[in-house]
Chain A
Amino acid sequence: MEKETRTIAKPKVEILLEEEERRKLREMPLWRVRLYLTWREIRNNWKLFSENKIGLVGVGIIIFFALMAIAHPILMKWVWDPVIYDPIVGYSFDEVMQPAPPSPRHLLGTDPLGRDVLSQLMYSTRSEFALGILAALITVTIGTTVGAVSAYFGGLIDTLLMRLADLIIMLPFVTILIVLSAMFKMNLIILAIVIGILSGFGGTGIIIKSQALTIKVRAYIDAARVAGGSHWHIIFRHIIPNLMPLSFLYMMFSVTSAIFSEAVLSFFGLLNIRMSWGLMIHTAQTAGYLLNPKTWWLIIPAGLSITLLCSAFYLVGRALDEVVNPRLRKR
């Protein structure tokens, strides 16, 4: 192995500030100091993150889809005629046969019901983002609270929460969601809540708890306790802020699993939803265009979008993992 330099550990983020910098900070008001330090930390972390080319690919893909989501309402308002291009009720009158192949008017063709595929694709992006972010926020809120509480208190609470988590991670997630959405009417928000609860009390909670256990034994927790901090004060002011980097990392993975689950459920037609990538494939399937290579534009753009967005969040998550987890760094 030629890269022997790796073994020498070099602290990446210098904890001690330079002398001159420290003097400059002392003259500033407190809020500016805080702002400055936060900015500094973000900059340092970005530098670490941007070393990882794979993570940058992920960020690029996410920005691309975000632009698509933003562009759709603008296009609908000023460029596209809503009668023709509406993703749900539009109909392309200028095509003789539906589904029509890609043409300058419809860059990705039209679907069996005469709707513009590109418009559907862009319209769905928004709800995929909304679902992913909502589910991830719920997951991380529950997961962080569960992890911090069960690590801090231990005992009976810990046992109960962790056995529940064991049960949840052992069970096939998508299968349970399939049964649930077949039995109950589900829309996007309920789905986000269910995904959030299942993964928050499940895997995410366990991982965050193991991190919280290492924070719980630090000296500053003891100091806070000696100073008379209540249990909840310690949990919310001292433990949870230190769990934030890891929580943020697991948000990325939750986004992936939420988007994936939504796509699977709407592919099987189990969701009560207006338009989504999974539903686009479902439409192609029910109209009988599934295995027809001549109508590739009905399946490939939607399937590719799901795959790309899921893997983009996953790649960003992995790159963040290398920032948060020092053992995986190159130096």
Chain B
Amino acid sequence: MTKYVLRRVGQIIITLFVFLTLVYFLLEAQPGDYAQTFLSNPKLTKEQREALKAQFGLDKPLWERYFRYMSSLFRGNLGISFVHYPKPVISIIAERAPRTILLFLTAQILSFLLGFTTGKILAWRRGQAFEYALTIGGVTLYTVFTPWFGLMMIWIFAYILGLFPVGKFVTPTLWRGAPVDANYVFIRILLSAFISSIVLFAILLSTRRLSPGIRKLIRWAGVLVIIAGLLAYWLPSGIVRYALDILHHLVLPVLTLTLINFAGMMLLTRNSMLETMREDFVMAARAKGLPEGVIRDKHVARNAMLPVVTSFIFSIAFVLDGGVITETVFSWPGMGLTLMEAALHQDIPMVMGALVFTGTLALVGHLVADITYAYLDPRIRYT
């Protein structure tokens, strides 16, 4: 297992390197170069122009610029954003990346759970009107024009029903007298979500082999302990109000992203379930007289899960795309919105930085999914 993980990590690092190289040369290949905006100023004398060029490093040959870029990239220096001058790109990423990561992770996990559950039910009810309705609804959501769907969600839930805020990250009036800034609160939200899910996962794993009665008891106790711990941390801190405000803003984007993505998982689970249902062990389970629910959840679904996890890996890129669009529509100030703004304003260092971030996130997501897959299916590790 360790060997497999190490090999995958090595491959991912090489892929990341190739990706960065491709992105660099792609942006080099664009018509003109990014210093043109500064150099075409008619007030500049020839010497000033040369000095500016040297400052940007544009007098050097291409390969030297490439090596300089790569070496400073690995030292964590991504340059300075043109639009947010004089903020360095890396600090903008550090500020905004957690927001994207939270949005991405929550939507990805929710859509997996929702898609897998509905897919199971769909396969079991093949040929009924229920299946047709859910399939058509699911496909429509899966191929829906994402920006338009986001707008419809805002329209219905924020404008007509008034349940959620129209967009953005925080309510400015509420934060006027706040003792801390939004990122301070946000990082704590992210950390508590992360720690509680790890604790929950550990409890689930460690109680797997216990007898059902005790297992249930311990699991519920664990959930209560987590909730109590969260309350004990958040209530005395005095920033609950602000945390709730951020979460309130988070609901609608997450809902949109989940609804768009879950159908892919659902349709795939259905197909995979239909294939597994023909296996002999399913007939054996039926012959034993097991209840339908047990056959579905414990015999068919467990085995049908593998292809779904594979597609989960492929869906990472799709969710990231959805994230960029969703963030832009909801004005959620994460990396997607940053990328879009930077691309529109020709802010090349920021575009590079955002692409580096998105690529890294996609590749790390792949790595995690690959390792999960190897854990689920022992056959993978020995190939």
Binding site for B on A (CB under 8 A): 1, 3, 6-7, 53-54, 57, 163, 166-167, 169-175, 178-180, 182-184, 203, 256, 260, 263-264, 267-268, 270, 278, 281, 290-291, 293, 299, 302-303, 306-307, 310-311, 314-315, 318, 327-328, 330
Contact = CB atoms under 8 A, between A and B. Distances in A.
Given A173-B321, A175-B339, A314-B139, 13 more contacts: A1-B292, A53-B132, A167-B19, A171-B362, A173-B318, A174-B321, A175-B324, A178-B339, A267-B145, A293-B155, A293-B159, A306-B145, A330-B126
Interface in B141-156: 142-149, 151-152, 154-155
Given A175-B320, A178-B339, A311-B139, A169 B147 contact: no
B197 interface: no
Contacts of B27: 183
- Name the residue among A167, A263, A318 with the largest chain B CB count within 10 angstroms: A167
A15 to B, nearest CB: 23
A53 B324 CA distance: 35
Contact of B328 (A169, A184, A268, A278): A268
Given A178-B324, A291-B159, A172 B147 contact: no
Given A268-B340, A293-B159, A307-B148, A175 B139 contact: no
B135 A314 contact: no
A178 B155 contact: no
A281 B146 CA distance: 12
A215 to B, nearest CB: 21
A171 B148 contact: no
B166 to A, nearest CB: 8
A178 B132 CA distance: 35
B148 A281 contact: yes
B197 to A, nearest CB: 24
B317 A171 contact: yes
A311 B267 CA distance: 13
The secondary structure that dominates the B interface is: helix
18 contacts: A54-B135, A170-B316, A171-B19, A172-B324, A174-B321, A179-B351, A180-B26, A184-B30, A203-B314, A264-B147, A264-B325, A268-B328, A268-B340, A291-B154, A307-B149, A311-B142, A314-B142, A328-B271
- Name the residue among B132, B145, B146, B321 with the largest chain A CB count within 10 angstroms: B145
A74 B160 CA distance: 41
A299 B151 contact: yes
B278 interface: yes
Contacts of A170: 15, 316-317, 362-363, 366
Interface in B331-383: 336, 339-340, 343-344, 346, 351, 355, 358-359, 362-363, 366
Contact of A310 (B136, B143, B316): B143
A167 B18 contact: yes
Interface string B160-198: 100000100000000000000000000000000000000
Contacts of B143: 256, 260, 307, 310-311, 314
B275 interface: yes
A53 B151 CA distance: 31
A142 to B, nearest CB: 18
A276 to B, nearest CB: 12
B148 A303 contact: yes
Contacts of A263: 145
A234 to B, nearest CB: 28
B145 A167 contact: no
The 4 closest A-B pairs by CB, nearest first: A303-B148, A182-B343, A310-B143, A172-B320
A264 B322 CA distance: 11
A174 B19 contact: no
Contacts of B160: 293
Given A307-B143, A307-B145, A318-B139, A171 B359 contact: yes
B339 A260 contact: no
B378 to A, nearest CB: 22
Nearest to B136: A54
B60 interface: no
Nearest to B15: A167
Interface string B260-276: 00000001000100110
Contacts of A311: 136, 139-140, 142-144
B213 interface: no
A306 B314 CA distance: 24
A3 B127 CA distance: 10
Contacts of A178: 324, 339-340, 343
B31 interface: yes
B139 A179 contact: no
A49 B363 CA distance: 38
Nearest to A57: B136
B241 interface: no
Contacts of B328: 268
Contacts of A256: 143
Contacts of B151: 290-291, 299, 303
Contacts of A173: 317-318, 321
- Name the residue among A6, A7, A291 with the largest chain B CB count within 10 angstroms: A291
Given A53-B132, A54-B136, A327-B275, A306 B358 contact: no
B148 A328 contact: no
Given A184-B30, A327-B275, A179 B147 contact: no
Nearest to A7: B278
B87 interface: no
Contacts of B135: 54
A328 B126 CA distance: 12
A163 B19 CA distance: 12
Interface string B5-47: 0000000000100110010001100110000000000000000
A6 B339 CA distance: 51
B343 A267 contact: no
A299 B30 CA distance: 34
B154 to A, nearest CB: 7
Contacts of B274: 328
Given A178-B339, A179-B339, A314-B142, A1 B321 contact: no
Interface in B98-134: 126-127, 132
B286 A1 contact: yes
A173 B322 CA distance: 10
B362 A172 contact: yes
